[in-house]
Structure 1
């Protein structure tokens, strides 16, 4: 997979920027605040139609404007596609693929796949379950776009149920309807999540063993909030939790409470792992994302390394670069780094990019 070029109009601090990219390593150099991450943020938009830095699309629009545009030619083994994304303050996002409007973001997902490494990634290992769920949901959606639609349906139904639970007079018949709908969606989501964790666990175990110098075994387990993955059992659990739901005025059971457990041997990394172990486990997870996509799609995703080299020692840097050989990679950094590879350099300064 490859992003051949990109044109940004009124995107962040760029009024009009056009760049052609190398199929290998693209190193974007600049001091903090100059706009180097804005470029890779736009690359990420081509896969997910959203930023990896903010949940608010309007933040990417130049503050003096009402609309921004991202235009690109991308290629994968099967095809070449023209992607145009329009982001407006006053209307919904508009996405065109080969000049044809698409109504669902899931129709964009999978044209190209993007894996991002950023300093925030350590939160997957160290922080609350929401970071691990987001990691899991984003990755599954890339390889199975239908999963993204299931998440949208689940969140919409869950919000409807929660609104009902907060009302003065709860309609029990409507609660039954929502629980029936949720049980059907949950059964499908659990199946996707369980399969994903089993698959990536095997890849991550092997990857981590190598990059820890054959000293550690990484184990990844899916921890569901529900006891069963069968619809009828799920529905029973939802109904059994109803009294508690009404008391708390919120749904207490469901896949929005799931988690992933990461262990080195018998040690829960989140609770007891050292900073070095957490960092290595994070790299193992992200590298496993790349291999999983390659196994499923038979081609490698595009990789973004956003300001992570300053977080890594020289050994981890070189290991990471070796792993990404022959994969289109975007590296943002504050200083030029010599990694003895075929590199195209971009220097960002005062809203200008020098090639």
Structure 2
């Protein structure tokens, strides 16, 4: 798949922008704070239906405006598509797919699949468990719309249960929430287990290539419920909530469940978070992000668009070369501050855009 054209109105620092992309490599070059990342944010919004920066919709609307608009024309194996978003300070966002209004966001998940790789992702290993859970959840949201629904419901119920725990209410009332959490949580855990199996196999192969066989990566899903059937996970999860109710009331929050799970990443059998060098951690992060691309290809039959936000300067020459050599069949969007190394980007279909203060011009090279 690929995105042919993007239009945004009152999005971040862009008042009105319409831009046509190449099928291959699209390079956005300019100094910092000119709007390069904002273009990638709009592109990623097409697949994630939210900002990868953690901002709410109202925070990505241009300052002083009430609404923002995003439109993309693209193509997939099944045909062309037009995806539109109208964001407002005063009402819920409106979504249209091929001119038809969509009422449920789950109905447009998968129209655009995207993988974004930014300097923050290079800290995937050394940051907290919430970062690694988000890495998993963002991927599953795109591949399985039902997962997005169950995850949202689980988070809502967790918040309600935590409110009750702080009020020290009776266990009978909390039991209602435990049943709901077991229902939603078992679906989340089972899908994470299946995803991590694929991630583990693919990342192991990619990591060997990047390191010339010198390093072996392995991934372990850290969870309190390790069963492999939905029924067994649901039952064990329910017991887990009940067994920890006294401790949860004391703490004022739910201490067990998929919202507390983590990914443990090992390099040559050693916990990478604690003992790997910065270079090893970055290589592992690169392996995980490239594995995302292959998993999406395996699930959908098409490569996603890839968004590389200022990561080239964070990688050494060997990792840069491996990354770029891996992207020949993928529509890629790359932000950089200088074209000095343009000869490295040996793509047949390439387009360079100069970004300055919310304006973009095609650059002849």
TM-score range, shorter-chain basis?
A: over 0.9
- C-alpha contact 1:48 1:105 (8 A) present in aligned 2: no
- C-alpha contact 2:113 2:305 (8 A) present in aligned 1: yes
C-alpha separation between the residues in 2 aligned to 1:298 and 1:227? 30
- C-alpha contact 2:309 2:334 (8 A) present in aligned 1: yes
| SS of equivalent residue, structure 2 residue 125 | helix
C-alpha separation between the residues in 2 aligned to 1:324 and 1:39? 20
What do the CA deviations read for 1:158-190 (whole angstroms, capped 9, x no partner)? 11111111225x143221111011111121111
Structure 1 segments (4+ residues) deviating >6 Å: none
The normalised TM-score by structure 1 is 0.97
Partner of 2:185: 186
Aligned pairs for 1:22-101 (under 5 A) are 22-101=22-101
Say which of 259, 265, 269 aligns to 2:268: 265
Q: Which stretch of structure 1 is more off in the superposition, 246-255 or 52-61? A: 52-61
Compute the displacement of 1:108 (Å): 1.7
Partner of 2:112: 112
Return 5+ residue gaps in structure 1 as ranges: none
Partner of 1:326: 329
* 1:347 is the counterpart of 2:349: no
The normalised TM-score by structure 2 is 0.94
Partner of 2:204: 205
C-alpha separation between the residues in 2 aligned to 1:42 and 1:262? 31
Compute the displacement of 1:140 (Å): 1.2
* 1:230 is the counterpart of 2:230: no
Aligned CA RMSD, in angstroms, stands at 1.2
C-alpha separation between the residues in 1 aligned to 2:43 and 2:57? 14
Partner of 2:250: 247
* 1:302 is the counterpart of 2:300: no
C-alpha separation between the residues in 2 aligned to 1:233 and 1:52? 33
C-alpha separation between the residues in 2 aligned to 1:233 and 1:46? 37
Q: Number of aligned pairs?
A: 354
Partner of 1:312: 315
C-alpha separation between the residues in 1 aligned to 2:123 and 2:245? 32
Return 5+ residue gaps in structure 2 as ranges: none
- C-alpha contact 2:10 2:67 (8 A) present in aligned 1: yes
| SS of equivalent residue, structure 1 residue 325 | coil
* 1:218 is the counterpart of 2:217: yes
C-alpha separation between the residues in 2 aligned to 1:203 and 1:72? 31
Partner of 1:281: 284
What do the CA deviations read for 1:100-123 (whole angstroms, capped 9, x no partner)? 222222222111100011000022
C-alpha separation between the residues in 2 aligned to 1:220 and 1:279? 15
What do the CA deviations read for 1:198-232 (whole angstroms, capped 9, x no partner)? 11100000000010111011001111133555222
Q: Which stretch of structure 1 is more off in the superposition, 200-209 or 342-351? A: 342-351
- C-alpha contact 1:125 1:262 (8 A) present in aligned 2: yes
- C-alpha contact 2:8 2:68 (8 A) present in aligned 1: yes
- C-alpha contact 1:48 1:108 (8 A) present in aligned 2: no
Compute the displacement of 1:314 (Å): 2.0
Compute the displacement of 1:340 (Å): 2.1
Partner of 2:137: 137
Shift of the 269–150 alpha-carbon distance from structure 1 to 2, 3 Å rule, reads same
